[in-house]
Amino acid sequence: MAADRAPLILASASPRRLALLAQVGITPDETLAPEVDETPLRGEMPRSCALRLAEAKARVALRPGAYVLAGDTVVARGRRVLDKPADADAARAHMALLSGRRHHVWGGIALVCPSGRVFTRVVDTVVRFKRLSAHEIERYIQSGEWAGVAGAYAIQGRAGAFVAAVNGSPTNVVGLCVHTTCKMLEGAGYPCA
């Protein structure tokens, strides 16, 4: 920890979020994996879900005198949230739903400052998949890359070949909009550069 700033805690077990922060020279002093039920609430819109979950994760990891940064990624087709699939059948259904269509990736970001003040943002990125053949879907399912990721895909992996267009922040799709996160940290007095 630098002597001239409060510590930064990343409230996330995601190696992708840690790597994205490292990419811009930010190394959290600590990482925690907050246990939060990620099930959307009845009638909850995807955008609201991403924001609620990010804020809940930040609050679980609160440490006096520290910055706590948390993020959550929600992949949605319309109002339907495409969760982290429980098994290959669920992942297959997600891929079939995304095939040849546009979907939203909502990135919720929450930052709790040493003062206790909370800043939140939601970033929306629209992703369009090419039309996938049954063979492409099956080959992807066999890779196992769908496990543990929202929407059953990671853009930086094999599913990157399915992405025809991205409108918005590519890092948001990976797991954390770096641009918005840096703006939030700098606005809260945490040195990013």
Inter-residue contact 110 to 119 (CB < 8 Å): yes
Nearest Cα to Cα of residue 169 among 132, 121, 131, 130: 121
Q: Are strands 8-11 and 67-77 parallel, antiparallel or unpaired?
A: parallel
Q: Tell me how crowded residue 57 is: count the other CB atoms within 10 A of its CB.
A: 26
Is 72 a catalytic site residue?
yes
**DSSP for 169-187?**
-HHHHHT--HHHHHHHHHH
Which one of 72, 83, 87, 89 is the catalytic residue?
Answer: 72
Query: Is 63 strand, coil or helix?
Result: coil
Q: Tell me how crowded residue 22 is: count the other CB atoms within 10 A of its CB.
A: 11
Give bridge partners of residue 71 from the DSSP assignment.
109
∠ CA(155), CA(110), CA(37), 5° rounding?
75
Catalytic positions, written as ranges: 72
